[in-house]
Chain A
Amino acid sequence: MSFGRLSQWASRHLLKIDWLLFTAVLVICAIGVAFIWSASLRMNEQTADWHVTTQPVRQMMWLGISLVVFVIVLVLPYTILMRFSYLFYVIGIVLLIGVFFQPPIKQVRRWYNLGGVLFQPSEYMKVILIMTLARYLMYRENYRTLKGLLGPFVLTLAPLLLVVKEPDLGTAIVFVPILFALLYAAGARAKHLIAVILICLLLSPLVYLNLAEYQQKRLTSFINPQAHAQTAGFQVMNSVCAVASGGLRGKGWSEGTQNLFDFIPADRTDFIFAVLGEEWGFLGTVGLLLLYFLIFLCGLGIAKSTREPYGRLLAVGVVTMLAMQVFINIGMTIQLMPVTGLPLPLMSYGGSSLLSSFIALGLLINVGKNRIPVFADEDFN
């Protein structure tokens, strides 16, 4: 490929992408690696010196892999991906069923063990669900009737129930807002959606009774953490203490006592925000939230400027998914929500989460890059 062709290729694929969004993503990832590093500091009891586990390095490796996949997703026209949406959906469902035949890890069947690397299909299912729902809704009208809502609900509930069964409540919860946001964006009647939400709320006591004991405990400990200080509430109390003790400016990177003395539970994965809150304080947490907000803003901007129906629904779905994950994760860290195991996208340690976030972002930026002419009204409904 000559230089001219290369520059042409680059200008077609790279120059048109939303650089502001991409920069925000990279900055969040860098912050993530820094705090995974900080959370991985371990003291040797004998010699009293500190060392770091291999996790930050592994995370950087995953970041590299994710960027490669990101570029691939970016370069393909997303209309091609659209055609395979249902195929992906079927593959995703099969993988979710296959998980039940895997040996359990920590008494939970969520992962495939691919020679030391854990593969979590539910993470990818979120993205696949967005693609499938967008594909299903793009040229339809009937979701404006209550009967027409049945199709999208069935499409969502099938993977949702499978994920709940794993059990992975945190990931499953994200499926619901994705469905509602897509239906809402596609033009379903708000009346219908609110009615469905009300029915769900009425049924929620039944759901509570069906939860596993530890999940019930998490809920009750959310309401009254002191009563469960010995067990389930311990996590939340310590993470809140960590975030709050950060104050305005924080204790400094890798200086947080709650972090170093191992009070923060799962401090590299689900509670990474507590480490950031402790070490960078209010300025750091608000800064991170603004970066996330920048991503959401750019994402919705892409949705707005796209007239192609699949693309705009895709954009809305990706933004909703990321926003909900951020909200649920940070919410549980600062005791706004019950504890559900859900990673903070782009920050938490974990290959599957990072990769699926990057695929989703790749799709989003891809939509923003390809302006496909559509012969339809401004609002295609």
Chain B
Amino acid sequence: MFHRRLVILLVLISVMMLVIIGRLFHLQILQGEHYLDIARRKIAYQQDIETTRGLILDRTGRVLATNEKQYDVCIYLRNYERLDDPQAWCAGLAALLDRPTSDVTDAIEKVEEHLRTLAPEGPEWRRQAELKYLRRRPQVILSGLSWEEMRGIRLGEHQLPQYVPRGVLRPVFTLRDALVRRYPCDDLAPHIIGRLARINPEEYKDKGYRFSFDGSELKRFRESDLIGRSGVEARYERLLRGARGRLRGVKDVREEVVTGMPTTRREPVPGRDIKLTIDARLQRLAERALDDVIAELIRKDRQAGDPPVCGAFVLIDPHNGDVLVAASSPRYNLNTVIKNWRTLAAKSNLARPLWHRATMGTYPIGSVFKVIVATAGLEENIISGHTEFTCHGAFFHGNQILRCTGPHGSIELSQAIERSCNVYFWNAGLRIGGKKLKKWAELMGLGVPAHADLGEARGGIPVSRSSGDTLNLAVGQGRILCTPLQVARMMGSLALPGKLPEARFCTRKPIRIHRIDMHPHRINVIRWGMRDVIHGRRGTARKTARVYRHERGREVEELIYAGKTGTAQTRRKDVYHAWFAGFAPFKTPKIAFACVIENTRGSGGGAAAPVVQKLFEKVFNTPDLAPYLSGETR
């Protein structure tokens, strides 16, 4: 019985096999030709739809970086060389573009040459085959055409010689559009916005780039894609970058889309817009003020052989760490940076215009450090506001004589800040000790990262190994290195005592505020001292930093604010880094600032303070910018 049943099972299996073979016979033998025809006609095609990169806006929504459509002329070399008169075609195209004919002919020659290098090594027939293929493909000859030029070509196209073999028009050229990055404000804040460049072949081959961005096929880099190289463009690449769209479907031999077959279209997703904390108008004014002052300094007292005079200016909101201005001089124009790359990046260009001094430049800060000494002394209960030291114009340390700006006599803290008395702070510094000075400097954000969402230098506060080191540190000379951003942040923590927000350049970064254990009433005396630097009778910046509101040519109102000058020595004699940093307005601080002029022969009050004064004067007299400085006035 079992055997009989096995035979029945075998029969069942055989029947199934026969059914399958029958169906296969029907399909493959009887209908094979029919289906082969269908299969031959089908070519799946897939086409990318380009996306756009996100915009970069300032805090008020002004566009700092946008995308502009440009047009490329692509030529079909195969059809071009079969024209009756190629030269006439070139001349015609050049005429439509208002360019000399040689532009077009040169471009075509260049493309020919380029194609020859592209063709692969190997047997001659293979090279020829590849070249033949490339000559049938559209090749870019003229790129970066404006809309008007494109329109001109489109309107005059029919006048050009045409290639019409056997009554079929074959195109000689085609117009292709491409998006390029444009910067409407030209050289405004180029370091912050950052450069875009084509991705390197090495990077492209690196899987990290090809498969980056969540592994999304639609977002990954292509050979000719642009990638952010510096500034926000690089930092927020992930957000700015959009995802391409994709068109998928089936085409037949005539390249017509087959209906009835599924066609899918995935819309491109544009990149996200990035809003900066920068205020473009303030930034522009600050850059102008900085440039003007530097130009004047160069004209007035630069001597041959001096290193180039450069500068940086930072303005932050101490409440939340928003960087309102981060100007750096010299600068470059993002629209022309590729054209001018050679000179900008040259080693011999000592001014280093590509370098963002506001966050990457590190300098000794000179007397600005005195406010740290004062804070450390007060907070550690080592000195009080009434502690007096006597200044004879010099300080004796071992067998050294250290000079002060003048005999200040018996002087207390707020006056010492006002007049920037070295002797006072040498004495105080020695009492406090180098360790505590370093601790307080770092607590207030000097020599430590500002946590900015942009490349920044760290700098550093040196460890004092001897009393000599401590003396140097107490007046901000020597090996101490800080960035303007750090100094502005430090001033912010004095403006709003105890509050030290992380710096942010982009509104996407969450606000984070560090707390310093500080007593507002104790350090008030420092704030008053800083106020007197500008408004006191003997303040170091009393002549150059006063800001008034003008009405009909008369000064009607004065801005009350606080600052501290600094003049840091460099290796060169009589060449200094001039500093001016502080906060404004005095009573209800809204901004903290730091300005540095590099390699000048002027002092903090003489070289750096005018930048601040020029900017504030403009801001103070412009009604819609005045809220930045509004508060207490006289």
Cβ of B13 and Cβ of A296 under 8 Å apart? yes
B25-67: CB near A (< 8 Å → 1, else 0) gives 1011101111110111011101000000000000000000000
Cβ of A257 and Cβ of B28 under 8 Å apart? no
Which residues in A have their C-beta under 8 angstroms from that of B20? 289, 327, 330-331, 334, 336
User: Which residues of A in the span 296-336 have a Cβ within 8 Å of any Cβ on B?
Assistant: 296-297, 300, 303-304, 312, 316, 319-320, 323, 327, 330-331, 334-336
Q: Is A258 an interface residue (CB 8 A)?
A: yes
Given contacts A248-B29, A257-B42, A282-B32, 9 further A-B contacts (CB under 8 A): A258-B39, A277-B28, A278-B39, A281-B28, A286-B24, A289-B21, A292-B17, A327-B20, A334-B24
A302 to B: closest C-beta gap in Å: 10
Which residue from A242, A243, A300, A331 sits with its C-beta under 8 Å from B9?
Answer: A300
Which residue from A245, A247, A297, A336 sits with its C-beta under 8 Å from B29?
Answer: A247
| Stretch from A166-174, A180-188, A354-362 that touches the partner | A180-188
User: Which residues of A in the span 35-64 have a Cβ within 8 Å of any Cβ on B?
Assistant: 45-46
A150 to B: closest C-beta gap in Å: 22
User: Which residues of A in the span 219-235 have a Cβ within 8 Å of any Cβ on B?
Assistant: 229-231, 234
Which residues in B have their C-beta under 8 angstroms from that of A231? 262
User: Which residues of B in the span 99-149 have a Cβ within 8 Å of any Cβ on A?
Assistant: none
Cβ of A244 and Cβ of B260 under 8 Å apart? no
Using CB atoms, name the residue of chain A closest to B250: A263
Q: Is A246 an interface residue (CB 8 A)?
A: yes
Which residue from B9, B19, B39, B262 sits with its C-beta under 8 Å from A245?
Answer: B39
Interface size on B, residues (CB 8 A): 39
Which residue from A258, A282, A312, A323 sits with its C-beta under 8 Å from B25?
Answer: A282
Using CB atoms, name the residue of chain B closest to A45: B46
Cβ of B27 and Cβ of A244 under 8 Å apart? yes
Cβ of B35 and Cβ of A245 under 8 Å apart? yes
A379 to B: closest C-beta gap in Å: 5
For the complex of A and B, list the 6 residue pairs with the smallest distance between their C-beta atoms, beginning with the closest: A244-B35, A247-B32, A245-B39, A244-B27, A282-B28, A245-B35
10 A-B pairs (CB sep. < 8 Å): A231-B262, A241-B35, A241-B39, A244-B28, A244-B34, A247-B36, A262-B44, A331-B20, A335-B23, A379-B2
Cβ of B223 and Cβ of A46 under 8 Å apart? yes
Chain A residues engaging chain B, CB cutoff 8 angstroms: 45-46, 181, 184-185, 187, 229-231, 234, 240-248, 257-258, 261-263, 277-278, 281-282, 285-286, 289, 292-293, 296-297, 300, 303-304, 312, 316, 319-320, 323, 327, 330-331, 334-336, 379, 381
Which residue from B19, B38, B223 sits with its C-beta under 8 Å from A241?
Answer: B38
Using CB atoms, name the residue of chain A closest to B27: A244
The answer to whether residues A304 and B3 also contact, given A257-B39, A286-B21, A336-B19 and a CB cut-off of 8 A, is yes
Q: Is B261 an interface residue (CB 8 A)?
A: yes
Using CB atoms, name the residue of chain A closest to B260: A229
Cβ of A323 and Cβ of B38 under 8 Å apart? no
A231 to B: closest C-beta gap in Å: 7
Using CB atoms, name the residue of chain A closest to B2: A379
Cβ of A379 and Cβ of B27 under 8 Å apart? no
In the bound complex, what is the Cα–Cα distance between A334 and B6 (angstroms)? 28
In the bound complex, what is the Cα–Cα distance between A114 and B316 (angstroms)? 52
In the bound complex, what is the Cα–Cα distance between A187 and B4 (angstroms)? 11
Q: Is B16 an interface residue (CB 8 A)?
A: yes
Which residues in A have their C-beta under 8 angstroms from that of B436? none
Which residues in A have their C-beta under 8 angstroms from that of B13? 293, 296, 319, 323
Q: Which interface residue of A187, A244, A282, A316 has the most chain B CB atoms within 10 A? A: A244
The answer to whether residues A246 and B6 also contact, given A261-B42, A323-B13 and a CB cut-off of 8 A, is no
Q: Is B402 an interface residue (CB 8 A)?
A: no
Using CB atoms, name the residue of chain B closest to A47: B223
User: Which residues of B in the span 243-283 have a Cβ within 8 Å of any Cβ on A?
Assistant: 260-262
Cβ of A246 and Cβ of B260 under 8 Å apart? no
B210 to A: closest C-beta gap in Å: 11
Which residue from A181, A285, A304 sits with its C-beta under 8 Å from B28?
Answer: A285
Which residues in B have their C-beta under 8 angstroms from that of A320? 9
Which residues in A have their C-beta under 8 angstroms from that of B262? 229-231, 234
Which residues in A have their C-beta under 8 angstroms from that of B42? 257-258, 261, 263
Cβ of B2 and Cβ of A323 under 8 Å apart? no
Using CB atoms, name the residue of chain B closest to A322: B13
Q: Is B339 an interface residue (CB 8 A)?
A: no
User: Which residues of B in the span 1-19 have a Cβ within 8 Å of any Cβ on A?
Assistant: 1-3, 5-6, 8-10, 13-14, 16-17, 19
Interface residue SS majority, chain A: helix
A18 to B: closest C-beta gap in Å: 16
Which residues in B have their C-beta under 8 angstroms from that of A293? 13-14, 17
Q: Is B222 an interface residue (CB 8 A)?
A: yes
Which residue from B6, B23, B261 sits with its C-beta under 8 Å from A316?
Answer: B6
In the bound complex, what is the Cα–Cα distance between A286 and B38 (angstroms)? 23
The answer to whether residues A245 and B6 also contact, given A229-B260, A334-B27 and a CB cut-off of 8 A, is no
Cβ of A336 and Cβ of B27 under 8 Å apart? no
Cβ of A248 and Cβ of B9 under 8 Å apart? no
Cβ of B9 and Cβ of A187 under 8 Å apart? no
Which residues in A have their C-beta under 8 angstroms from that of B38? 241, 245
In the bound complex, what is the Cα–Cα distance between A245 and B31 (angstroms)? 8
Using CB atoms, name the residue of chain B closest to A293: B17
Which residue from B9, B23, B33 sits with its C-beta under 8 Å from A181?
Answer: B9
Which residues in B have their C-beta under 8 angstroms from that of A262? 44
In the bound complex, what is the Cα–Cα distance between A281 and B32 (angstroms)? 9
Cβ of A185 and Cβ of B32 under 8 Å apart? no
Which residues in B have their C-beta under 8 angstroms from that of A282? 24-25, 28-29, 32
Which residues in B have their C-beta under 8 angstroms from that of A181? 9
Cβ of B222 and Cβ of A46 under 8 Å apart? yes
Using CB atoms, name the residue of chain A closest to B223: A46
The answer to whether residues A289 and B17 also contact, given A244-B28, A281-B28 and a CB cut-off of 8 A, is yes
Q: Which interface residue of B1, B5, B13, B35 has the most chain A CB atoms within 10 A? A: B13
Using CB atoms, name the residue of chain B closest to A330: B20
Cβ of B39 and Cβ of A243 under 8 Å apart? no
The answer to whether residues A327 and B16 also contact, given A247-B36, A262-B44, A304-B6 and a CB cut-off of 8 A, is yes
Using CB atoms, name the residue of chain A closest to B3: A304
Which residues in A have their C-beta under 8 angstroms from that of B6? 185, 300, 303-304, 316
Cβ of B24 and Cβ of A285 under 8 Å apart? yes
Using CB atoms, name the residue of chain B closest to A248: B29
B26 to A: closest C-beta gap in Å: 9
Which residues in B have their C-beta under 8 angstroms from that of A319? 9, 13
In the bound complex, what is the Cα–Cα distance between A234 and B261 (angstroms)? 8
Which residues in A have their C-beta under 8 angstroms from that of B1? 187, 379, 381
Which residues in B have their C-beta under 8 angstroms from that of A335? 23
In the bound complex, what is the Cα–Cα distance between A241 and B21 (angstroms)? 16
In the bound complex, what is the Cα–Cα distance between A257 and B3 (angstroms)? 47
Cβ of B2 and Cβ of A312 under 8 Å apart? yes
In the bound complex, what is the Cα–Cα distance between A293 and B17 (angstroms)? 8
Cβ of B28 and Cβ of A248 under 8 Å apart? yes
Cβ of B28 and Cβ of A300 under 8 Å apart? no
Which residues in A have their C-beta under 8 angstroms from that of B8? 184
A44 to B: closest C-beta gap in Å: 11
A272 to B: closest C-beta gap in Å: 15
Which residues in A have their C-beta under 8 angstroms from that of B21? 286, 289
Which residues in B have their C-beta under 8 angstroms from that of A234? 261-262
In the bound complex, what is the Cα–Cα distance between A320 and B39 (angstroms)? 35
Cβ of B31 and Cβ of A244 under 8 Å apart? yes
Which residue from A245, A263, A277 sits with its C-beta under 8 Å from B44?
Answer: A263
In the bound complex, what is the Cα–Cα distance between A45 and B36 (angstroms)? 25
Which residue from B10, B32, B222 sits with its C-beta under 8 Å from A246?
Answer: B32
